[in-house]
Amino acid sequence: MTAVTDEDQGNGTTETGERKEKEARGKDGRWDDGLIARRAAAADARSGDSGTGDSRTEKSSTDSADSPDSVGSPPDEDDVRPQVEAYGPSDGPLPTRLDALRELVGLSRARLDRDTLAEAGRVLDEAAARQRLSSRHTVVAIAGATGSGKSTLFNALSGAQISDTGLRRPTTSQPIACSWTDGAAGLLDRLAIPGRLRRRPHPGPAAFDEALQGLVLVDLPDHDSAATAHRDQVDRVLALVDAVIWVVDPEKYADAALHERYLRPLAGHAEVTFVVLNQIDRLPGEAADLVLDDLRRLLDEDGMALGEHGEPGATVMSLSALTGDGVPELREMVGRFVQDRTAATRRLSADVDAAAARLRPVYVAEGRPGLGERAREEFTDRLAEAVGAAAAGEAAEREWRRNAGRACGTPWLRLWRWYESRGLPGSLDRMGQALAPPEEELTARQRVEQAVRIVADDAADGLPAPWAQAVREAAFSGAKGLPEALDELAAAGAFPPRTRARRRALRPVPGGAV
């Protein structure tokens, strides 16, 4: 076991992070897309260069202060190849999705409360922080319940007694990290793991395994610890790592706390999840297979996709960290996972999916919102009733008939009808006043407002509350001045063209009658 003794990891976090960010940028100030680093790695692989250290990793202040017994050689000072490949903007789907989420949050700040947007904002912040750090390292946390054997598995993978094990509970009180290669100081700073808890694998096959170069393994406290601070540390680190190895045992693999608090909410992170059934040496005969099948069943009920038959999903397997049975297989799987260099991208994509799923109820309407033809017709009818259009039309029709009678009758008949009409209520000269008498003006305005309110409710039906309120506000704002405009239209349409009617009535007819 070799401890990383550089003091600047704990004291120079800010300075180291800023310097790493500058080194990760190209000469033009843009983020390197990693092509040069990948070509260099491929060239080394073809040439068979299998040195004890990774000469392409960043030569940071951390590495220059390693203790004399550190594993691996320091990077060559003459090596000018890129030392850290940082995530940068690309044409891939993740940057596009992050930009879309950022735009959505920005446009929604005036409509949604801060708590609703908090998780999406956290995802954007953490994505930006992770993309500024090394993409050549994969941070994998080992999590589990009390007594599950996660620290034993951590030691088995690192090849050394790094994390304390024993009967005392809880045994692990703080996260402990083991880095296979240099250049991971920024990632460990982000996890707030102090320098005294940063380790290197023991010199041996595990330390020089080419597939594990770039792995940063983190042993976490118990997620079900009686100490609240331990559980808080687990939750904090799990939100930041690239992948998780969940260690369960035959007694607690179906624990409700594990499934309801972690596995079920993180079902969308299946592609960066390993679920390991430990302590199979305690199970007789075929019992291990039966328990493993039941574990798969529970994960399926949690909604977690299982990576079987070449399908993407969680890796589920059984082993014994104590006897070593199955540990080489897990190490091989983790090695392939690390060399793929896509764990961080997959994790961030899953975080975006989760943030979008949380926001869906406040953005996506139930059914198909909008106004149908029937709602439009009912709105028109309510407006007509509010301004008395029907009554005005009937009055106009009666007046028209009276005018026609006056124009076509004999002088004595016209005189009689004129005399009769003096006692009838209303004439066209007073019709404009009859349309909206002072005592009914307030009632008409209220009817218009009610019609607008009803049509706004119809348009907002099925929309999430914030956007339904936005529709109502837009309707009320757009309806300002509507009562006055309707009054003007009604008054203008109430007067029929008398002159034209009179001319038509006075046209000559056969027989010389007028």
Q: What local confidence, expressed as pLDDT, does residue 460 receive? A: 79
Q: What local confidence, expressed as pLDDT, does residue 210 receive? A: 86
State the chain's mean pLDDT as an integer: 75
Mean pLDDT of 314-324: 95
Q: What local confidence, expressed as pLDDT, does residue 305 receive? A: 95
Q: Which residues contact 54 (CB under 8 A, 6 or more apart)?
A: 72, 181, 182, 213, 214
Start-end of H helices in 362-388: 373-386
Mean pLDDT of 118-125: 93
Domains in the chain with CATH codes: 2-39+57-73+80-361 (3.40.50.300), 373-505 (no CATH)
The model's confidence at residue 393, banded by pLDDT at 50, 70 and 90, is: low
CA distances from 402 to 273, 407, 410, 414, 455 (A): 88, 9, 14, 10, 39
Tell how strand 138-144 and strand 2-3 pair up. Answer: unpaired
Q: What is the pTM assigned to this prediction?
A: 0.64
Tokens of 238: 């799990």
Instruction: Please state, in angstroms and rounded to a whole number, the distance separating the CA atoms of residues 191 and 162.
Output: 18
Mean pLDDT of 211-240: 93
Q: What local confidence, expressed as pLDDT, does residue 350 receive? A: 96
Query: Which amino acid belongs to residue 386?
Result: A
Tell me the β-bridge partners of 31.
25
**pLDDT cut 70: percent of the chain above it:** 64
The model's confidence at residue 410, banded by pLDDT at 50, 70 and 90, is: low
Which of 32-41, 344-353, 448-457, 491-500 is predicted least confidently? 32-41
Query: Which amino acid belongs to residue 74?
Result: P
Which of 295-299, 408-412, 510-514 is predicted least confidently? 510-514
Q: Residue 344 pLDDT more than 80? A: yes
Q: Residue 241 pLDDT more than 60? A: yes
Q: What local confidence, expressed as pLDDT, does residue 65 receive? A: 34
Q: What local confidence, expressed as pLDDT, does residue 427 receive? A: 46
CA distances from 391 to 426, 429, 431, 452, 494 (A): 12, 16, 10, 21, 10
Mean pLDDT of 419-443: 51
Mean pLDDT of 141-166: 87
| Chain position carrying tokens 């090394």 | 134
Reduced to 3 states (helix: H, G, I; strand: E, B; else coil), residue 144 is strand
Q: Residue 297 pLDDT more than 70? A: yes
- Which strands sit side by side in the sheet containing 138-144, from one edge to the other? 2-3, 198-200, 176-179, 215-219, 138-144, 243-248, 273-277, 315-318
Q: What local confidence, expressed as pLDDT, does residue 470 receive? A: 80
Output 116-120 pairs: Cβ under 8 A, ≥24 positions apart: 116/359, 116/362, 117/359, 119/354, 119/355, 119/358, 120/355, 120/358, 120/359
Query: Which amino acid belongs to residue 417?
Result: R
Burial of 169 (0-12, 13-18, 19+ CB in 10 A): exposed
Range ranked top by mean pLDDT from 159-168, 173-182, 246-255, 403-412: 246-255
Q: What does the pLDDT look like over 347-371, one tens digit per residue?
A: 999 999 999 998 888 887 776 767 7
Mean pLDDT of 381-398: 69
Q: Residue 325 pLDDT more than 90? A: yes
Asked if residue 201 lies in contact with residue 122, where contact means CB atoms within 8 angstroms, the answer is no
